[in-house]
Amino acid sequence: MTEELRIRKLVSVFSPEQIAGRVRAMAGEIDAQYGDEPLIAICVLKGACIFFSDLVRCLHNKNLELDFIRLASYGTGTTSSGQVVLRKDVENDLRDKHVLLVEDIVDSGRSMRFVLDAFAARGPRSLRLAALVDKTGRRDTEVSVDFSGFSVESGFLVGYGLDYAERYRGLPGICEIVPE
Ligand code: IMP
Ligand code: MG
């Protein structure tokens, strides 16, 4: 974190009620895709932790397992560099398993491209991505979001797990940071 944004205000973008509605709808799509087939849902820490917790509680799959990864990407406060490393790996063997990555927000696409490529090499039966927010305006690496909560063009979002320099993760809704 080298760049410090001077924050003028936070503007609400998605309310807790809107988020809850989208999370339930996404869970319905995921249930329709997998039914009760064994599925490993993987939370990308830390940003997806709140979304993941709400999402898995809406799923009806009786053969769902949870796993967690943590990435480190080196960049400035509001952009990632694309140099991504897996700081914490899953505990499951992914071979022949249905795997669903659960991420907070896809921006350039580099973080998810890195993980999708790394996990594809482990021979899963299927590999899909659920992202609460698909931020489309700065995408420079192709990533397909199979289950998407919201689509936005731009703006730096915080709350509901999303942070700016580790702050604001606990906000119940999603807000956009308006810089000075
Ligand atoms: P990407 O590799 O550029 O797609 O960046 C994805 C990661 O950057 C996400 O997992 C977030 O941790 C972070 N990120 C990107 N945009 C935002 C944002 O608007 N708010 C908070 N974090 C963001
Ligand atoms: Mg993240």
The alpha carbon of residue 8 and the mean position of all alpha carbons in its chain are separated, in whole angstroms, by: 26
Residue 76: predicted pLDDT:
60
Question: What residues pair up with 176 in beta bridges, in sequence order?
Answer: 11, 157
| φ/ψ (deg, to 5) at 106 | -105, 125
Tokens of 88: 């914490």
* Entry pTM: 0.94
Please report the pLDDT score of residue 1 as a whole number: 47
Eight-state DSSP code of residue 167: B
156 CB near ligand 1 (under 6 Å): yes
Q: What is the pLDDT of residue 3?
A: 60
Query: Does ligand 1 lie within 6 Å of residue 110's CB atom?
Result: yes
Contact indicator for 26, 147 with CB cutoff of 8 Å = yes
Q: What is the reported pLDDT for 90?
A: 98
Active-site entry in 107, 117, 134, 146: 107
What does the pLDDT read at residue 75?
A: 64
From 102, 104, 113, 141, the mutation candidate for ligand 1 (largest count of ligand atoms within 8 A of CB) is 104
Round to whole Å and give the CA distance between 12 and 22. 16
Fold of 17-153: Rossmann fold (3.40.50)
Give the Cα separation of 165 and 170 in Å (integer): 13
Which residue in the block uniquely carries the two structure tokens 């996990």? Answer: 119
Paired tokens of 131: 């992202």
Is the minimum distance from the CB of 134 to ligand 1 under 6 angstroms? no
Give the tokens for residue 84: 């991504």
Q: For 161, phi and psi rounded to 5 degrees?
A: 105, -30
Distances from the Cα of 130 to the Cα of 2, 27, 127, 150, 166, angstroms: 30, 10, 10, 11, 22
The ligand 1 atom nearest the CA atom of 110: 2
d(CA 20, CA 26): 10
Ligand 1, residue 135: give the atom nearest the CA: 16
**pLDDT tens digit at each of 180 positions of the chain:** 446 678 789 999 999 999 999 999 999 999 999 999 999 999 999 999 999 999 999 999 999 999 999 999 866 666 666 689 999 999 999 999 999 999 999 999 999 999 999 999 999 999 999 999 999 999 999 999 999 999 999 999 999 999 999 999 999 999 999 988
Does 107 qualify as catalytic in the annotation?
Answer: yes
